[in-house]
Structure 1
Amino acid sequence: MNKEELVKYISGDLPVEQREVVEAWIRESAEHEKEYEDMKKIWEWSGASDESPEVDVDRAWADFKKLRDTQPQQTVVVKEIKRSRSWKPWTVAAAIITLLLSSAGILRWTLSTDMTLVSNDALQQAGLPDGSTVYLNKQTALDYKKGWLAKERTVVLSKGEAFFDVKRDTTQPFVIQSGNSKITVLGTSFHVRRADGETEVIVSSGSVQVDHGENSVRLKPNDRVLIQDTARTKVKVHTVEDQLYKYYIHQEFIFENTPLSRVFDVLGKAFDKKFVVVNDKDKTLRYTASFERQTLNEMLDVILKTFELKIEKKGNVYYIKG
């Protein structure tokens, strides 16, 4: 549908027969209806109406530049329009809409910033519309939403785990809903895991507020909470023992004097395997090494040779023993 005709329809300047064509087009699909609603919002935002014979183009242009400047690394090429009192309202509005549509990023930011991310069997990194960054581990799904003129940025984490590096915005807190837990931040970085009816939150930098029922707790760097959806007791805060929870961000494993039992727990989680260290004395062995983007077999080969251990598979379980 021609955008000019949509603007004429919204402003009431379209003949009856053409209005019927536009209305039929709008009813054809949800996508057409959304395009119409977006166009209507821009029309209302520009200040144009039947009762106003002229739009303040200078103000609209200033507002457009303000929106543009809030978007990092966006390059927008536009042609400035001049005021003309002979233009009809829909003509001015069409020019403004053209300016807005020239930057898809700004249009998404102002009107439609819904986003669904699903990682399935691959790690994923994505930039969110507000400038934040999220790293998804495998089998993770989340929905992001920041409505037009909304008071907060909202994420629903339905499963899996993700690391958020949130762009600070004091006017719009970043809120994550995970089961019955609500996580609120302004600008910080943290890890959230959602699985088996529970939510885990670990803070890397800044501070995070976690609300669960009537309980509320503020977390600082290296603080961790694990909350069952059905929990009614006070939320307990613990300190993380290492930084291995972030392995999926850069596909990097950094073991620093780490007990061997912990080494295999992390590798088992990362590669969806079940490892059992058979001897208790082997569980307490300390291991220090770094692996980056290496296969599980490559890492196992190095670790087993270091301690002269062997691995035996029975069913779906791998047994580590001397």
Structure 2
Amino acid sequence: MIKKVKHYLENLIEKSTDKTASQKEEQLLENFVQHEYSHNNDWDETTMGNKDDVNNTIYGKINDSINSETKVRKLWPAYLKYSAAACVVAAAGAFFFLKNDPQAKMLAIQTTNTMDSLKLGDGSTIFLAANSQLSYPESFTGDERNVTLLQGNAFFKVAKDPSHPFVIKSGDIKTKVLGTSFHIKLCKENCNVTVVTGKVNVSSAGESVDLLPNEEAVYNNNKLTKQVVSQTILADWYKEDIELNDVKLEEVFTLLRYKYGVTVDLKEDEILNTRLTVYIKNKASLDSILEQINYITNQKFKAYDDIIKTTK
């Protein structure tokens, strides 16, 4: 397994330095290096060297045009001897990578243009929206069950375990629960935590708020606030079959963004206030859903790669 792991990573580096890697492969490699080295709180400089020097060396190796297989192979044994092996696997529209840790094996899942889900060892289920990334341990140890939402959106159904709180780190905030369901939306500008069932505690830099169903915490500009929200469509995007009754088109497009990883580019925003009812099956294609919307709204929406535009 370790040989396959190293080979895959070396292949990614070769493709990156040869400028033959796809954008998603470049992003995967960048995420791996950043996750392994920039966010490693247990870095031992006595054995692993100066952390900044290692980071500079790694990024330099990746970005330089190193076409020699010998040079590429020299990069990994020197540093992965201590940070352990990583496994990068592509499956079911998501990327997984695995590293060895003295205490626990850490896994991560990164979705591309489709959503994915996973069930953790404690029985909790996480639904990851398109273009999102989450890291988690293969098995939980210690007093807390810790996972990290690195980017994107996720819906959590946390198994109850009062003696082991479930903790999600997302950007600068921490969400702590015992057993509940809630949605986290993480982007560069802010982070939102919306509770569907149970009770959730959200904290950041000395601030803390408790949330109940239909309440939401918003972290923006280094400030944490709480607000009341209606039972939002955001809590339904992960379901297998979805029926949206008399909702705004804007809400439908929000769900499509989570489910299919698309964005909407419209010249006129007024159409977004149009109310409609649509039924979205789990395996439905984006084109078939847009056909429904076009029939109801008398518009001509079409997906161009990952962008929905109107041709009318």
| TM-score category (smaller protein) | 0.5 to 0.7
Is 1:216 the counterpart of 2:205 in the alignment?
no
Separation (CA, whole Å) in 2 of partners of 1:315 and 1:123: 16
- Residue 164 of structure 2: which of 169, 172, 178 is its match? 172
Is 1:310 the counterpart of 2:305 in the alignment?
no
Which protein shows a greater Rg? Answer: 1
Corresponding position of 1:144:
136
Per chain length, whose mean CA-contact separation is higher, i.e. which structure has more relative contact order (CA < 8 Å, sep 6+)?
A: 2
Separation (CA, whole Å) in 1 of partners of 2:244 and 2:181: 21
Corresponding position of 1:118:
109
Corresponding position of 2:279:
290
Given that 1:156 and 1:176 are in contact with CA atoms closer than 8 Å, whether structure 2 keeps it comes out as: yes
Q: Is 280-289 or 207-216 further displaced after alignment? A: 280-289
Separation (CA, whole Å) in 1 of partners of 2:132 and 2:261: 14
SS in 2 for 1:161: strand
More strand by share: 2
How far off its partner does 1:182 sit?
0.9
Given that 1:261 and 1:277 are in contact with CA atoms closer than 8 Å, whether structure 2 keeps it comes out as: no
1:207–1:281 distance in 2 versus 1, CA, 3 Å: same
Given that 1:256 and 1:287 are in contact with CA atoms closer than 8 Å, whether structure 2 keeps it comes out as: yes
How far off its partner does 1:147 sit?
5.7
> Which consecutive unaligned segments of at least 5 residues does structure 1 have?
1-28, 33-110
CA-based RMSD: 3.1
SS in 1 for 2:150: strand
SS in 2 for 1:202: strand
Which residues of 2 match residues 51-130 of structure 1 at below 5 A? 113-121=104-112, 122-130=114-122
Corresponding position of 1:246:
236
Aligned length: 212
Separation (CA, whole Å) in 2 of partners of 1:161 and 1:254: 21
Is 1:257 the counterpart of 2:246 in the alignment?
yes
How far off its partner does 1:214 sit?
2.3
- Residue 271 of structure 1: which of 251, 254, 260 is its match? 260
SS in 2 for 1:171: coil
SS in 2 for 1:282: helix
Deviations 1:253-283 (A, max 9, x none): 4322111233234324543434345556533
Separation (CA, whole Å) in 1 of partners of 2:208 and 2:226: 10
How far off its partner does 1:242 sit?
2.3
- Write the letter of the residue equivalent to 1:231: N
Q: TM-score, normalised by structure 1?
A: 0.57
Q: TM-score, normalised by structure 2?
A: 0.58
- Residue 153 of structure 2: which of 144, 154, 161 is its match? 161
How far off its partner does 1:217 sit?
1.0
Corresponding position of 1:54:
none
- Write the letter of the residue equivalent to 1:116: L
Given that 1:179 and 1:197 are in contact with CA atoms closer than 8 Å, whether structure 2 keeps it comes out as: no
How far off its partner does 1:113 sit?
4.9
1:161–1:274 distance in 2 versus 1, CA, 3 Å: closer
- Write the letter of the residue equivalent to 1:129: G
- Write the letter of the residue equivalent to 1:199: C
Separation (CA, whole Å) in 1 of partners of 2:126 and 2:254: 24
- Write the letter of the residue equivalent to 2:289: M
Corresponding position of 1:187:
179
Separation (CA, whole Å) in 2 of partners of 1:292 and 1:165: 21
- Write the letter of the residue equivalent to 1:226: V
Given that 2:140 and 2:146 are in contact with CA atoms closer than 8 Å, whether structure 1 keeps it comes out as: no
- Write the letter of the residue equivalent to 1:125: S
- % identical aligned pairs: 26
Given that 1:112 and 1:147 are in contact with CA atoms closer than 8 Å, whether structure 2 keeps it comes out as: no
1:280–1:120 distance in 2 versus 1, CA, 3 Å: closer
